[in-house]
Amino acid sequence: MNTTVHTLLAAAAALLLASCGGGGSDVPPPQELRFTQLAATTNSGVRTPVNLVADTETAYAALWAQYNSSISHPSARPPADLSTQTVAGIFLGEATNCTRPNVESVAITPAGTVRVSYRVLGPDPAALCAAVVMTPVQVVTFGNATKLPVEFQRLTQ
């Protein structure tokens, strides 16, 4: 009798799993987007960590002003077609020399957001880096014609 109950329970569980897709996930994987680095520097002057997104000329001008905030001869803003692209800047704030953000991927998530995934890279163990406080940043652009919301994910080493 006990074996029969276990067999019936196992069969019922199998039917339930089969009726709901077998328990597997029907969530599609993130859709990778191509991205391009527009600029990077170790001396932005932005002392507090912040991630900025620009999908209008006004927002891009503000992001670029942050990028150039400590440069006496600011560089020209790289062109970006903001009708089809979004610009994202990862400002690490104050960090030691030889530390920098590195965007590894940009993808549309199943939730309908664009996720910019990045790592904070430290110095190569063989590198000689002075103990100087810098303000590193990386600015990238990616296709986002539908203007989905953007989120940032800091990946751990």
Q: What is the pLDDT of residues 69-106, one digit of tens each?
A: 887 788 899 999 999 999 999 999 999 888 999 999 99
Inside any domain, residue 15: no
CA angle 60, 62, 66 (to 5 degrees): 115
Inside any domain, residue 121: yes
pLDDT at 98: 85
Inside any domain, residue 93: yes
Find which of 13-27, 51-65, 68-82 is predicted with most confidence, using mean pLDDT. 51-65
> How far is 3 from 86, CA to CA, in rounded Å?
61
- Considering only CA atoms, which of 50, 51, 49, 75 is closest in space to residue 64? 75
Inside any domain, residue 3: no
pLDDT of residue 136 exceeding 90, the answer is: yes
User: CB atoms < 10 A from the CB of 121, how many?
Assistant: 13
Q: What is the pLDDT of residues 26-53, one digit of tens each?
A: 777 889 999 999 999 988 989 999 999 9
> How far is 147 from 82, CA to CA, in rounded Å?
10
pTM (predicted TM-score):
0.79
DSSP 8-state secondary structure symbol assigned to residue 18: H
User: How many separate domains does the chain show?
Assistant: 1
21 burial (CB, 10 Å; 0-12 / 13-18 / 19+) is: exposed
121 vs 125, higher pLDDT: 121
Inside any domain, residue 52: yes
Going from the C-alpha of 80 to that of each of 67, 86, 102, 128, 141, the distances in angstroms are 15, 8, 20, 36, 7
Inside any domain, residue 7: no
Residue 106 sits in which domain range? 25-155
Inside any domain, residue 50: yes
Inside any domain, residue 119: yes
